Amino acid sequence: MSRAVCPGSFDPVTRGHLDVIGRAAGLLHEVVVAVGHNSKKNALFAPDERVAMLADACAEWPGVTVSLFGGLLVDFCAEHQIDVIAKGLRSASDFDYELKMAQMNARLTGVDTVFLPTAPQWSYVSSSLVREVALLGGDVTPFLPPGIADRILERVRQRSQ
Ligand code: PNS
């Protein structure tokens, strides 16, 4: 049995994230999507909101649960009997960054990381670009699971009042 974690900020979850989570769920027995709650100070959505949005978006996969985490990812893995970290890779720059984290995590506790190449149609999509486009009035619907674009619009409206 392998239990994996798909960690991230997910501010907000994109269709690129869901591509990776869904494929990880097809390959591994159980997947815990872990929302890091300290990673961004000026986040668009609060950690609890991100967890709720992810839980909706992942409801179709029975082996997937969503959780909040703070502190080191390797400690979360140890506490939840997680033996592998699953991450998506969009580009060579992702690889450079992710490789160092994977090696550090392996050095800390021995937990290993597997990389899944992001599907090409989502390779340019990131939460930070989605936030920027939305804040400047662009349409982000194609990059997001149903319902999330409306929540972003609502949040952008609140911020501009
Ligand atoms: O979506 P992001 O912002 O790329 O997610 C980054 C995240 C939360 C997965 C990463 O920053 C992380 O693992 N943070 C936990 C703190 C930690 O373990 N840091 C040491 C990494 S080697």
Ligand 1 neighbourhood includes 104 CB (under 6 angstroms): yes
Distance 161 CA to ligand 1 centre (A): 32
Atom number, ligand 1, closest to the C-alpha of residue 105: 22
Q: Which residue carries 């300290």 as its tokens? A: 38
Q: With helix as H, strand as E and coil as C, how does 118-161 read?
A: CCHHHCCCCHHHHHHHHHCCCCCHHHCCCCHHHHHHHHHHHHHC
Residue 157 has pLDDT above 90, yes or no: no
What's the average model confidence in pLDDT over 9-24?
97
**Band (161; pLDDT cuts 50, 70, 90):** confident
Helix (H, G, I), strand (E, B) or coil at 23: helix
Residue 40 has pLDDT above 70, yes or no: no
Quick: pLDDT tens for 111-145.
999 999 999 999 999 999 999 999 999 999 999 99
Ligand 1 neighbourhood includes 39 CB (under 6 angstroms): yes
Report d(CA 53, CA 47) in Å as an integer: 10
Ligand 1 neighbourhood includes 36 CB (under 6 angstroms): yes
Residue 54 has pLDDT above 90, yes or no: yes
What's the average model confidence in pLDDT over 34-43?
79
Least confident of 11-25, 78-92, 116-130, 147-161: 147-161
Report d(CA 68, CA 24) in Å as an integer: 19
- Spell out the alpha helix ranges (H) of 4-109: 15-27, 47-57, 73-79, 92-109
Ligand 1 neighbourhood includes 99 CB (under 6 angstroms): no
Sequential DSSP letters for 71-91: S-HHHHHHHTT--EEEEEE-S
Percent of the chain whose predicted confidence (pLDDT) is above 90: 87
Q: How far is CA 50 from the centre of its chain?
A: 10
Distance 138 CA to ligand 1 centre (A): 28
Percent of the chain whose predicted confidence (pLDDT) is above 70: 97
Q: Whose alpha carbon is nearest atom 3 of ligand 1?
A: 9
The confidence score (pLDDT) of residue 41 equals: 64
Atom number, ligand 1, closest to the C-alpha of residue 40: 3
Q: Which residue carries 């961004």 as its tokens? A: 40
The confidence score (pLDDT) of residue 39 equals: 56
